Amino acid sequence: MVKRNTRDFWLMGLVFGVFLSPLTGSAQWATVSAGGTDTVGGLIISSSVGEWDVQTLELGSFQIQCGVQQPYRWPSVQTRLIGHLMYGNVLATPLEGTQVLLRQGNQLRASAFTDAGGHFDLGLVDTGTYQLIYQNPTPWRGVNSTDALGVLRHFTNGVLLHGLYRQAADVNARNTINALEAQTIARRTIRLLSQFAAGDWLYDRVEVSIPLQATPQNNPMVMPIVTLCYGDVNGSYTPGAPLRSGWFPLELSGVMGVGAPDQPYDLPIYWVEGGSLGAITLEIQVPDGVAVLDVLPGQDRFSGRSLLYYQENNVLRVAWYGLDPWDIAPGGELLKLKLRGRPSSGWLYGAQSELADGWAQPISSFRLAMPQVASGALEVQVLPNPVGDEGRLWCSVPGAGRLSYTLLDAFGRLVWSGHAAVERHSVYEVELPVERMRQGAYHLQVNWHGIGQHAVKSIKIVK
């Protein structure tokens, strides 16, 4: 604001200032800071948004004053930024090796990698607002049908998700959570989908503002940051922990006869312990020589449309979840596999398989079984193979007779042998003498002599 003084009009003074500037005179400058009202000579200045540069011209008996307001320049303030990146599980597992980028618009201001404890240091940063970008090398994991059931229960208000866990349920990036999100999670569990619309990782801090007040460098701004995999609404993933791996044999429970080799048949899978069931996540290794035509619910408990499955090479993945808990008696049917062809070896299920109860709580351990298909031939399998600290020989014997077996090393030397009498079609199991086996390849031969019949099977074993 410019105000005329008590003697002269501002416009008149400005005119004189233009035309009389060659005359003898003097000029003075003054700077008025922002905040409040100041007076310089006859000029009254009121401002809180910037500084004023004021010029006073003395021309004989005339005095001219004018002022120009300048934008206020905040003093340069720097604050040290440090942080701690952890996963949103009960252990608050730190994430190592994640690159944290600090950007302001299109400009990269700082970057750092998290150490073994999940800590990072972005150094001194000027006052302002910044965006945090993360480049996480840890793979996306920890999501299965149990999470899908948790999302469905949230949608029906059975179980409520809060905070970051609720955001992790929005896998379709629609800003809403309902049965569609649960189905999307189940579809990715069995690999029908390769990614979520929302992405793989979610972080609870994507922006940071540096305050105007400077903080001592020994008292930095600390940012605890929590992350989740999209879909992992129960925080079951533990980054850095060894991935559960390996395959386990389905136990054999009884013998089942089937028709002609080209005719389809139903092979049940039993839950040995039984219990209340709300979600199924299974990885099943299908033996060679078998085609999976369909996967059906056991005991006709629920519509097959609510069960999803997908086969990739020899791995069959199955997903199911439901709000109405399913009570299965010990040894009751869990699933039915509609098949064609005779298995050349036993069935296996993967360590990533999981059963959960009606409240989306994982069942700590479970055992699966199925009947032996009476193929009328000798079948031999070693589990696991390669063998480690232990190994077992499984034989499906076609009928009564005498069973014998020999184990030779790569040079043909006898390492182990044995025999047993069998009275009927059955499954014979015996532990391998792994303590006698050094690293290398071995040859196992199994002979069965029945009444008027003889069969031989050979298998290579690696330790």
CATH number of the domain where residue 121 is located: 2.60.40.10
pLDDT of residue 4: 35
- What's the domain count of the chain? 4
Same domain, 380 and 463: yes
Mark whether 262 and 220 lie in a shared domain. Answer: no
Confidence of residue 95 (pLDDT cuts 50, 70, 90): very high
- Asked whether the predicted pLDDT for residue 10 surpasses 60, the reply is no
Residues 284, 290, 296, 300, CA torsion sign: negative
Strands 107-113 and 43-46 turn out to be unpaired
pTM score, whole prediction: 0.69
* Three-state DSSP string of 242-307: CCCCCEEECEEEEEECCCCCCCCEEEEEEECCCEEEEEEEEEEECCCCCEEEEEEEHHHCCCHHHE
Q: Which residue has the higher pLDDT, 264 or 452?
A: 264
Residues 217 and 94 in one domain: yes
Assess if residue 351 is contained within a domain: yes
The strand pair at 107-113 and 441-450 is best described as unpaired
Q: Out of 374, 399, 414, pick the residue that ends a domain.
A: 374
Q: Mean pLDDT throughout 181-200?
A: 97
In this structure, are 54 and 130 located in the same domain? no
Q: Residue 4 domain-assigned?
A: no
Last residue of a domain, one of 374, 400, 421: 374
Please indicate, yes or no, whether residues 164 and 80 belong to a single structural domain of this protein.
yes
Structure tokens at 17: 């200032």
Residues 6+ apart with CB under 8 A from 218: none
pLDDT tens digits, one per residue of 18-39: 333 344 455 565 566 655 666 6
Range of weakest confidence among 21-30, 346-355, 417-426: 21-30
Q: Summarize the confidence of residues 140-144 as an average pLDDT.
A: 96
How many CA atoms does the CB half-sphere of 283 hold within 13 Å?
18
Which secondary-structure segment (H or E) carries 147?
helix 145-155
Tell me the pLDDT band of 274, cut-offs 50, 70 and 90.
Answer: very high
Q: Does 175 lie in the same domain as 252?
A: no
Listing from the earlier edge strand, what are the strands of the sheet with 251-256?
251-256, 368-373, 265-271, 332-340, 291-297
Instruction: Lowest mean pLDDT of 25-39, 114-128, 211-225, name the range.
Output: 25-39
C-alpha distances out from residue 366 to 151, 161, 351, 369, Å: 24, 27, 11, 10
Whether residues 422 and 449 fall in one domain: yes
Question: Residue 299, Cβ neighbours under 10 Å: how many?
Answer: 14
* Residue 3 in domain: no
Please give the pLDDT value at position 2: 39
C-alpha closest to that of 182 among 319, 363, 334, 356: 319
Residue 305 lies in a domain: yes
- 2 domain-assigned: no
Count of CB atoms situated within 10 Å of the CB of 132:
18
Confidence of residue 3 (pLDDT cuts 50, 70, 90): very low
Shared domain for 23 and 94, answered yes or no, is no
Mean pLDDT calculated for residue range 386-408: 87
Burial 64-90 (b: 16+ CB within 10 A, else e): bbebebeeeeeeebebbbebbbbbbbe
pLDDT bracket for residue 73 (50, 70, 90)? low
User: Do both 235 and 281 map to the same domain?
Assistant: no
Q: Are residues 276 and 310 in the same domain?
A: yes
The stretch 115-138 carries a mean pLDDT of 95
Contact 293, 340 (CB under 8 A): yes
The phi and psi torsions of 96 (rounded to 5 degrees) equal: -100, 145
Mean pLDDT within 119-132: 94
Q: Is 14 helix (H, G, I), strand (E, B) or coil?
A: helix
Half-sphere exposure of 65 (CA within 13 A, CB side): 20
Mean pLDDT of 187-207: 97
Closest by CA position to 79, among listed 200, 178, 201, 222: 222
pLDDT at position 211 is 79
Q: Residue 331 maps to which CATH number?
A: 2.60.40.680
Residue 93: band (very low, low, confident or very high) from pLDDT cuts 50, 70, 90: very high
CA distances from 337 to 163, 181, 284, 301 (A): 40, 27, 11, 15
Tens-digit pLDDT profile for residues 30-66: 566 655 666 666 666 665 556 666 667 676 666 666 7
Q: Which two tokens stand for residue 397?
A: 């014997």
Q: Is residue 299 part of a domain?
A: yes
Percentage of the chain surpassing pLDDT 70?
A: 79
Give the pLDDT of residue 75. 55
Domain that holds residue 95: 75-241
**pLDDT higher than threshold 90 for residue 163:** yes
Q: Which pLDDT band holds residue 394 (cuts at 50, 70, 90)?
A: confident
Phi/psi for 269 (5° steps) reads -115, 125
For residues 63-70, give the mean pLDDT.
67
- Domain boundary residue, one of 343, 374, 405: 374
Residue 1 lies in a domain: no
Window from 96-105, 163-172, 252-261, 442-451 with minimum mean pLDDT: 252-261
Whether residue 236 sits in one domain with residue 131: yes
Amino acid at 332: G
* Nearest by Cα to 311 from 339, 277, 341: 339
Query: Is 249 within the bounds of a domain?
Result: yes
DSSP strand E in 136-193: where? Answer: none
Residue 192 and residue 180 in one domain: yes
Q: CATH number of the domain that 397 lies in?
A: 2.60.40.2550
- State residue 148 phi and psi, 5-degree precision: -60, -40
